[in-house]
């Protein structure tokens, strides 16, 4: 049984108006336990709407979403959050600026647990757990627990967000262009950390990327969206041996469009 199944998903924004936009058009996808899937596609292909539908941030119009065989179509975002973690493009979206590293970690540690209005102070035992998770990042953040997140660089904040998203092991990790706002060097650092965390925890992961090299290098599957449907789904040796030029050809063949810098980014 697949961990996640999306069946005939449709989503239309501003239905019945001149701005009507049918983004997802009968999308089908099966995600197996342990899959690390890179998701690519041109602007407007439906990538973010797909992740928003899975997380519950967007309500689908038709179809169903099954997590471990159970429908979550009508499950609230807050309920899905205990099983589904997400890292966004903007490093500031994953952390609270006015809270310390340890306070941010403490919030993440509550995922899936009953939340009380007044939580006890962070204990020494909690700190040891936070330090161990942060030490895996190899950025020295385990020695800066009392530092406000506002004083971290974009790369440090995104690394912290990754640690927070996986502190309580999720069933599914969603990465929404999580390196797009970073400079190339920092982007590579965050991608190395992503690979390490995903592999060590055996996380099932969906990652949207505009970077073709990242799409090829990371993960065991690559899917391409076009007009709200999956038009390419490759894995294993086929994906491993794929070149950027071949990926560009695949895009052209399946979309009828030439691949431009605006659609996907090289390198």
- pLDDT band for position 257 (cuts 50, 70, 90): low
Domain range summary for the chain, segments of one domain joined by + = 4-97+150-255
**What is the secondary structure of 161-199 as a DSSP string?**
HHHHHHHS--SEEEEESTTTTS-HHHHHHHHHHHHHHHH
Q: What local confidence, expressed as pLDDT, does residue 150 receive?
A: 93
pLDDT band for 262, please (50, 70, 90 cuts). very low
Task: Give the residue with greater pLDDT, 191 vs 111.
Answer: 191
Buried/exposed code over 85-108 (b: 16+ C-beta within 10 A; e: otherwise): bbbbbebeebbeeeebbbbbbbeb
Name which residue leads in pLDDT, 255 or 156.
156
Residue 241: its pLDDT value, please? 92
The residue with tokens 């706002």 is: 181
pLDDT in tens, 14-28: 999 999 999 999 999
Name the band, by pLDDT with cuts 50, 70 and 90, for residue 258: low
- pLDDT computed for residue 188 by the predictor: 94
Helices 154-167 + 184-201 axis angle, to 10: 10
- pLDDT tens-digit readout, 25-39: 999 999 999 999 999
Report the percent of the chain where pLDDT is more than 90: 79
Among candidates 86, 69, 68, 70, which has minimal Cα distance to 78?
Answer: 86
Q: What is the pLDDT of residues 45-79, one digit of tens each?
A: 999 999 999 999 999 999 999 999 999 999 999 89
The predicted pLDDT at position 265 comes to 43
SS3 40: strand
Which segment, 41-45, 120-124, 154-158, is predicted with the most confidence on average? 154-158
Q: Which CATH number among 3.40.50.300, 3.40.980.10, 3.30.390.50, 3.20.20.450 corresponds to the domain 4-97+150-255?
A: 3.40.50.300
pLDDT of residue 249: 87
Query: What's this model's pTM, rounded to 2 decimal places?
Result: 0.91
Q: Which two tokens stand for residue 80?
A: 């899905």
Q: What is the pLDDT at residue 114?
A: 61
pLDDT of residue 259 exceeding 60, the answer is no
Tens digits of residue pLDDT in 234-243: 999 999 999 9
CA distances from 5 to 63, 72, 186, 218 (A): 10, 10, 33, 22
């Amino acid at each position: 049984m697949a961990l996640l199944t999306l069946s005939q998903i449709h989503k239309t924004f501003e239905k019945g108006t001149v701005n009507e936009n049918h983004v997802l058009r009968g999308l089908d996808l099966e995600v197996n336990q342990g899959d690390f899937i890179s998701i690519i596609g041109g602007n407007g292909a439906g990538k973010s709407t797909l992740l928003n539908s899975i997380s519950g941030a967007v309500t689908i119009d038709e179809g169903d979403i099954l997590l471990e065989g159970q429908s979550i179509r009508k499950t609230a975002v807050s309920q899905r959050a205990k099983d589904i973690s997400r890292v966004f493009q903007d490093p500031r979206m994953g952390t609270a600026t006015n809270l310390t590293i340890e306070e941010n970690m403490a919030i993440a540690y509550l995922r899936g647990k009953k939340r009380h209005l007044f939580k006890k102070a962070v204990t020494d035992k909690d700190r040891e757990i936070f330090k161990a998770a942060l030490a895996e990042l190899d950025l020295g953040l385990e020695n800066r627990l009392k530092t406000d997140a506002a004083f971290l660089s974009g790369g440090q904040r995104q690394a912290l967000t990754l640690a927070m998203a996986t502190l309580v092991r999720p069933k599914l990790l969603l990465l929404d262009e999580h390196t797009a706002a970073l400079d190339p060097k920092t982007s590579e650092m965050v991608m190395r950390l992503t690979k390490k965390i995903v592999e060590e925890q055996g996380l099932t992961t969906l990652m949207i990327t505009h970077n073709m090299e990242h799409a090829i290098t990371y993960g065991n599957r690559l899917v391409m969206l076009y007009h709200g449907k999956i038009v390419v789904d490759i894995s294993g040796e086929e994906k491993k041996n794929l070149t950027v030029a071949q990926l560009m050809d695949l895009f052209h063949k399946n979309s009828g469009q030439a691949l431009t810098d605006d659609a996907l980014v090289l390198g």
